[in-house]
Amino acid sequence: MIRWLPFEGVAALRFMREGWIQTIFILVGVSLGVAVTVFESSVLTGVQANFLSRVLTSQAHIVLLPPDEVARPLHAGPGLVEDAALQRPNQRLRSIDQWQTIRETVTATPGVRIIASIASGAALAVRGDATAAISLIGAEPDAYFSIVRVPDYIVAGTLRLTSDDILIGTELAILLGVTVGDRLLVTARSDTPRALTITAIFDLGSKGANLRTTFVAFRTGQSLLNLVGGVTSLEIAVDDAFAAETIAQDLATRTGVRADSWIKTNAQFFTAVQAQNTSNVVISAAVALSVAFGVASVLVVSVVQRGREIGILRAMGARRGQVLRVFLIQGGALGILGAVLGSLMGAVLLLIWHDQVRQTDGTELFPFILDPVLIGGTIAFAAIVGVLAGMAPAMQAARLEPSVAIRG
């Protein structure tokens, strides 16, 4: 069965088989270490993927806004000194200047996937004696809903957004006592209120957003907000979400408007992700170090126990390099076999955890992600650690003189 193996491989397997108790202990140690690494890394990847999915489907990658209004001091005239305190002016609702030209510039920018024009502002929704302050978002349905996946959050009704329709959140529906098909009287900056029909109710997963956010057709938003022909923002989706900040800075420089990327507005999220990644690296390094010491300790004991056998092999003509490779192969084999078993253990643990740990509504807490690259990298890393761990005892075995080893 092992005739095809070289002498070093045959000797390494024989040593491992004869010292099967030591072999089992080291395999268990390596397997547990790898299982912890695979499980932790996969859970972290799944949680981060879930966070990213929620963030990237509930907001645009880049939002272009009018530049902030600033106060400028009045010139009192030559020879006069004016000591005036400047206050930041109120940021009134206004349109982006020359937004059609800016939209064309954005559309021609490499990496931009889609752009939507938005007319949004504060409004008041009235139903009988009940009133609620709302955030009115007038959007182009085809473009905007490709950026912000509102259709995925619809819990009642059908997604229809004509000039006389409105989409509202679950909390607002409860507050006003309305349901699909009812009509709301919406008042904003224009002097004329508008009666709109509720065609769908959504749940964005946030009580505040469900209470305030509403969606109407783009032209309806412009009319209610007295922004005929204008837009309050341009919302953009890009091909590479992680390049959003770079593209935003480039657009701000070229267009003169304010560009906020989702990376900038979710800075705390990125800080948390970075902290998680750092902790994962530290834990993986600690596990790898413990595995290396475990393999090395077992191989050192093996060298001591098999000193006489090593001496006989050397006396029979085995070269130092061959003896060295025997223990390096043994360390690498223990690392690879332990990594394979540990990867299987980690995958099973991950599957059980994913199946048992659920959100309050029964949906999955995080997606099940088992990255083949992670598994392959872990096995390769464990093999390297095993070989490196076997280096010291292998050199110790190779330095044994035949006569000294045989005498014990």
Are 241 and 183 in the same domain? yes
Are 18 and 138 in the same domain? no
Asked if the structure places residue 41 within a domain, the reply is yes
Mean pLDDT of 225-239: 91
Are 191 and 166 in the same domain? yes
Q: Which domain holds residue 317?
A: 7-55+269-407
Asked if the structure places residue 321 within a domain, the reply is yes
Are 186 and 302 in the same domain? no
pLDDT digits (tens, 9 = 90+) for 245-283: 899 999 999 988 999 998 888 777 777 777 777 777 777
CA dist., res. 172 & res. 158, Å (int): 17
Asked if the structure places residue 290 within a domain, the reply is yes
Q: Where are the beta strands (DSSP E) in 33-161?
A: 62-65, 112-127, 130-139, 154-157
Last residue of a domain, one of 211, 230, 256: 256
Q: Where are the beta strands (DSSP E) in 222-309?
A: 233-238, 258-261
Are 284 and 240 in the same domain? no
Are 307 and 350 in the same domain? yes
Asked if 37 and 346 count as a contact pair (C-beta separation under 8 A), the reply is yes
Are 250 and 104 in the same domain? yes
Nearest CA among 304, 308, 300, 329 for reference residue 13: 329
Nearest CA among 293, 327, 298 for reference residue 310: 327
Are 240 and 304 in the same domain? no
The top-scoring range by mean pLDDT among 82-86, 116-120, 264-268, 349-353 is: 116-120
Are 104 and 245 in the same domain? yes
Asked if 169 and 209 count as a contact pair (C-beta separation under 8 A), the reply is yes
Asked if the structure places residue 381 within a domain, the reply is yes
Asked if 385 and 289 count as a contact pair (C-beta separation under 8 A), the reply is no
139 backbone dihedrals φ, ψ, rounded to 5°: -135, 155
CA dist., res. 382 & res. 396, Å (int): 22
394 falls in which pLDDT band (50, 70, 90)?
low
Asked if the structure places residue 60 within a domain, the reply is no
Asked if the structure places residue 303 within a domain, the reply is yes
pLDDT digits (tens, 9 = 90+) for 64-106: 998 865 555 555 555 544 555 545 544 457 788 889 999 999 9
Are 164 and 107 in the same domain? yes
Last residue of a domain, one of 195, 229, 256: 256
Mean pLDDT of 329-339: 80
What is the number of domains present in the chain? 2
Asked if the structure places residue 78 within a domain, the reply is no
Confidence check: pLDDT of 363 > 70 = no
pLDDT at 33: 79
Last residue of a domain, one of 199, 223, 256: 256
Who's near 237: CB < 8 A, 6+ residues apart? 60, 61, 112, 113, 114, 115, 146, 147
3-state SS of the chain: helix, strand, coil percent to 5?
55, 15, 25
Asked if the structure places residue 342 within a domain, the reply is yes
Are 241 and 287 in the same domain? no
User: What's the longest Cα–Cα distance across the chain?
Assistant: 107
Asked if 244 and 238 count as a contact pair (C-beta separation under 8 A), the reply is yes
Are 241 and 292 in the same domain? no
Confidence check: pLDDT of 169 > 50 = yes
Nearest CA among 221, 265, 230 for reference residue 245: 265
Confidence check: pLDDT of 179 > 90 = yes
Q: Kind of pairing, strands 258-261 and 233-238?
A: unpaired
CA dist., res. 371 & res. 287, Å (int): 20
